[in-house]
Amino acid sequence: MTDFQWNSVYFVKPYTEKSEIEKYIGISSDEIYDNISDEGTLYMIFTLDDKVVYQIYGNPNNLGFDFDVGEYDKIKNISKEKSVFNVKRDGKIIIYKMKL
């Protein structure tokens, strides 16, 4: 599904500050930002060997896709090995629902 290498992806809920994100993932980086946007914002951080390699940030309506990874508090880590999703369409948006 991606054209870059990664080990983990972190899903970050809105209203989560950069310092909380960095503490949780164990990486300090200028590439990590506060997620202080509204409830509809999707923020994903992909890492490889303790480096940020890619990020997705935006409203699913504008991106054309969204992820359903179940319930979590502020940040959820998913390893590449466990990133198996079912795909469905909801109107104009593609939903990737994690197989649990």
Helix (H) or strand (E) holding 20: helix 18-25
Residue 1: pLDDT above 80? no
Per-residue pLDDT band at 36 (split at 50, 70, 90): confident
- Percent of the chain past pLDDT 90, that is, above it, reads 81
**How much is the pLDDT for 81?**
93
Q: Identify the pLDDT of residue 38.
A: 76
pLDDT of 46 > 90? The answer is yes
Backbone angles phi, psi at 38, to 5 degrees: -70, 175
Indicate if the pLDDT at residue 12 is higher than 70: yes
Q: Classify residue 45 by its DSSP letter.
A: E
Q: By the 8 A CB rule, do 34 and 16 touch? A: yes
**Nearest to 33, CA basis, from 15, 50, 48:** 15
Say what the pTM is: 0.91
